[in-house]
């Protein structure tokens, strides 16, 4: 059975897409820690990020860098943090999170509750920053 991320990539489940190429897909986290919290996933369904080939892992990080630079432009911050957790969805993914301080990266923090309009505005701001 396809993961929720594979279903998002296939268009079966809606998302707030911010970027895509032939191998990777970036979209907003629907339970964001802060505005601009974005996920980068490979289109290839792989559970553990370090099971990707060296070439695909490197390419994923290069793609994530482009997304992170756009996130940082759209949501000015000290840095865009990167986290790889991957226990909640069995599909490799990178979290990109605009940070003013390290506490912005605590996954135990309360999640933002954004409206559809707010999510659309966040995604558009990131896309426009590319």
Of 113, 120, 92, residue with least CA distance to 5: 92
Spatial contact of 12 and 22, defined as CB atoms under 8 Å apart = no
User: What tokens does 100 get?
Assistant: 């003013």
CA distances from 73 to 12, 29, 67, 68, 76 (A): 30, 18, 10, 9, 6
Annotation says 93 is catalytic: yes
Annotated active-site residue in 37, 91, 93, 95: 93
Spatial contact of 104 and 97, defined as CB atoms under 8 Å apart = yes
Q: What 3-state DSSP class applies to 62?
A: helix
Distance from C-alpha of 37 to C-alpha of 105, rounded to nearest angstrom: 10
Residues identified as active-site = 93
């Amino acid at each position: 059975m396809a993961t929720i991320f594979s279903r998002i990539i296939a268009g079966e489940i809606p998302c707030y897409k911010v970027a895509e190429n032939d191998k990777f897909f970036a979209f907003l986290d629907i339970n964001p820690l802060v505005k601009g919290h974005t996920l980068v996933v490979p289109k290839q369904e792989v559970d553990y990020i370090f099971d990707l080939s060296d070439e695909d892992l490197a390419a994923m990080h290069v793609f994530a860098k482009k997304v992170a630079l756009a996130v940082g432009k759209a949501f000015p911050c000290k840095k865009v943090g990167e986290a790889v957790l991957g226990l909640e969805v069995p599909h490799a993914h990178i979290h990109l999170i605009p940070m003013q301080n390290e506490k912005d990266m605590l996954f135990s923090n309360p999640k933002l509750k954004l409206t559809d309009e707010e999510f659309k505005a966040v995604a558009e701001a990131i896309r426009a920053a590319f």
